[in-house]
Amino acid sequence: MDVEGGHSSAIFVFLLAGIALLFLLKSERAEPNASFLCSTFVRFERVQALTCFLQLKHIPTLGTKNYLLSYVDALRFTLLCPERLQRGYEKYRTTVFKVATWNRWLVLITGTRAIEEFRKASEDQVSLVDAASGPDASLFHIGHFQAVDPQLISGLTRNLAFLVPSIKEEITLALNSAIPTTSEASMGWQELDAMFLVANVTTKVVNRVIFGSPLTRDEQYAQMSIDQARDVYGFSSTNLCTLLPRAIASLTRALSNANQRRRRLRSMIITFISQTKETSQLPTQKGNEERPNDVLTWAFADASNRTSVGDVASHILDLSTTANQMITMTITHALYHLAANPKFAAPMRKETEWIVSREGWNKQSLDHMFKVDSFVKESTRMSNISSVSMTRKILSPFTFSDGMQIPKGTFIAAAARPRHLDSTIYASPDTFDGFRFSKLHERQYGDDLTPGGGSSGMPFQLVTTTSDYLVWGYGRHACPGRFFAAVVVKMMLAYVILHYDVRFEDGLRPKDVVVGTNYLPDPNAKILFRRR
């Protein structure tokens, strides 16, 4: 037994040594602007890498500055990101600080002045795409549309007013289908899987907007879309990839269920496009006024003749995935806050009934639902799906007005969640006040139920970005898909409020799930629904 125990100990020590060596060989934290792989080690570039590491030593550090021991801080940041961000924010409130992640150092911006300066950075100075596509799972943002084809987002935003009737119809059909309507069920409360319900409705709405009706009714495609929306909870597999060499990590991702699901969805989209082109002749150039009003049609209308069906399918899938994940998480968070705070339902119901009776369901009437808008904004303030915002990679040295210089290759982000919970910015920031922002509007612009009075209320609305509200990012690279997301989220919440009472059985909101920097609603929570 002693011999076996000795062998076991030796194996354990060997594995630990191997893991430590693996970190040394693959980490980018030692050198911000190059991948520190085995080949660089062999070519004696480690000295250069460590020299570049010194470029960050002037930036305050949360935790240890020791290269090897900083992996303990990286583990803390992965598992306890909100708490670590809050600690760094309180310690370095007016400046910047850095934290260790698995593969690099991340610089966090905390102060208003620094955020205002950084939002003006040009695309020559910072790159958002590089940050979004980086290999570090702890920096992965859910549901921001920057990586989606900008032409698709532009078309989506331009056509929002025309899409509202389809969105409303799909929400009505999906909710009526998901929630039983029998006379027996309508007499009492029904316990439903909240995440599944929201994902089911969201995917049908998004698919309707993208493809029109046919693919929306395909149950196999809908189910895979729902599963894909829940892939964001794959904490273990996602973070495992950060511990592996780049080539092995890429292979692991390629063989993952999420990636296989993506390939199947893309194949189904290609098949749908091919069949649709044969039967209805999707336009390949602009000028066809008779074409359907959906994203797929715009994609072909705006595409060049050299754009392949596969490329269009990939762009469409990127949009679908991003929209499904972001909207599902945002609505679920809002429903959880509503079920835990049902006192806000009656005033929102009154507002919605008043506006819809006069204006109907359209883009303008949604803009006038200030209480609904405020409730969603407060939900995102307290339960934003990402604890950081404005994540970017420095392309050329960036210097703040106080002289703090950020070297080329550094990853940088704003500490969004701590700012949203800052008592110097928001009164009683830890208390959920669904009408926090509508009261600000009412105080400054008068009765928030007056249609037509909302144009002046933009500073307090959900889609507005400021240095104090960073849910959508801020500045040049604010999330371009926020206008579409806001329409869907507000319409679904307003419809639920009009037709259902919702609550938790124990009246308590379930704790959120932390996955890296992402702050997600409990995927297993149940909500009680009752038809009105």
- Give whole-number Cα distances, 353 to 82, 108, 211, 368, 372, in Å: 38, 44, 31, 12, 12
**Does residue 136 belong to any structural domain of this protein?**
no
Separation of alpha carbons 11 and 244, rounded Å:
19
Q: How confident is the model at residue 238 (pLDDT cuts 50, 70, 90)?
A: low
Domain assignment present for 308: yes
Whether 364 and 221 map to the same domain: the answer is yes
Instruction: For residue range 258-280, list pLDDT tens digits in order.
Output: 778 888 888 888 888 888 776 65
Q: With respect to residue 443, please indicate whether it lies within any of the assigned structural domains.
A: yes
14 lies in a domain?
A: yes
Task: Give the helix ranges, DSSP H, for 341-415.
Answer: 345-359, 363-367, 370-382
Q: Is 479 annotated as a binding residue?
A: yes
The total domain count for the chain is: 2
Asked if residue 90 is part of any domain, the answer here is: no
- Is residue 225 within 8 Å of residue 191, measured between CB atoms? no
Contact 96, 400 (CB under 8 A): yes
Do residues 40 and 164 both lie within one domain?
no
Pairing mode, if any, of strands 405-406 and 398-399? antiparallel
- 33 and 163 co-located in one domain: no
Which of 10, 37, 54 delimits the end of a domain? Answer: 54
pTM equals 0.85
Task: Say if residue 43's pLDDT is above 80.
Answer: no
Look up residue 411 and give its two tokens.
């990853």
What pLDDT is recorded for position 42?
35
The pLDDT tens digits of the residues spanning 439-453 come to 998 888 776 444 444
Whether the pLDDT of residue 21 is over 60: the answer is no
Least confident range of 151-155, 360-364, 489-493: 151-155
Determine phi and psi for 97, rounding to 5 degrees.
-145, 170
Is residue 479 within 8 A of residue 385, CB to CB? The reply is no
Same domain, residue pair 479 and 346: yes
Assess whether pLDDT exceeds 80 at residue 30: no
What pLDDT, on a 0 to 100 scale, did the predictor assign at position 461?
93
Helix (H) or strand (E) run with residue 239 in it: helix 235-242
Look at residue 175 and tell me whether its pLDDT is greater than 80.
yes
Tokens 């991003």 sit at which residue? 322
Which of 57-66, 166-175, 448-457, 495-504 has the lowest average pLDDT? Answer: 448-457
The burial of 482, by beta-carbon neighbours within 10 Å (0-12 exposed, 13-18 middle, 19 or more buried), is given as: buried
Q: What is the pLDDT of residue 67?
A: 73
Residue 27's pLDDT is 52
Best-predicted range by mean pLDDT (31-35, 42-46, 105-109, 301-305)? 105-109
Q: Where are the beta strands (DSSP E) in 234-306?
A: none
Domain identity same for 322 and 467: yes
**Given phi > 0 = left and psi -120 to 50 = alpha, else beta, which region is 446?**
left
Q: Which CATH number covers residue 377?
A: 1.10.630.10
Count of all residues that appear for the chain in the document: 532
Tell which of 54, 73, 97 closes a domain.
54
For range 412-419, the mean pLDDT: 95
Question: Where in the sequence is the domain holding 38, given as residue range(s)?
Answer: 1-54
Structure tokens at 484: 């579409």
Whether residue 489 lies inside any domain: the answer is yes
Measured CA to CA, the distance from residue 210 to residue 214 in angstroms comes to 11
Mean pLDDT of 54-75: 84
The answer to whether residues 458 and 483 touch, using CB atoms and an 8 Å cutoff, is no
Q: Are residues 152 and 37 in the same domain?
A: no
User: Quick check: is 123 in a domain?
Assistant: no
Considering the domain boundaries, does residue 513 fall inside one? yes
Q: What is the DSSP string of 155-183?
A: HHHHTHHHHHHHHHHHHHHHHHHHS---H
DSSP 3-state assignment of 355?
helix
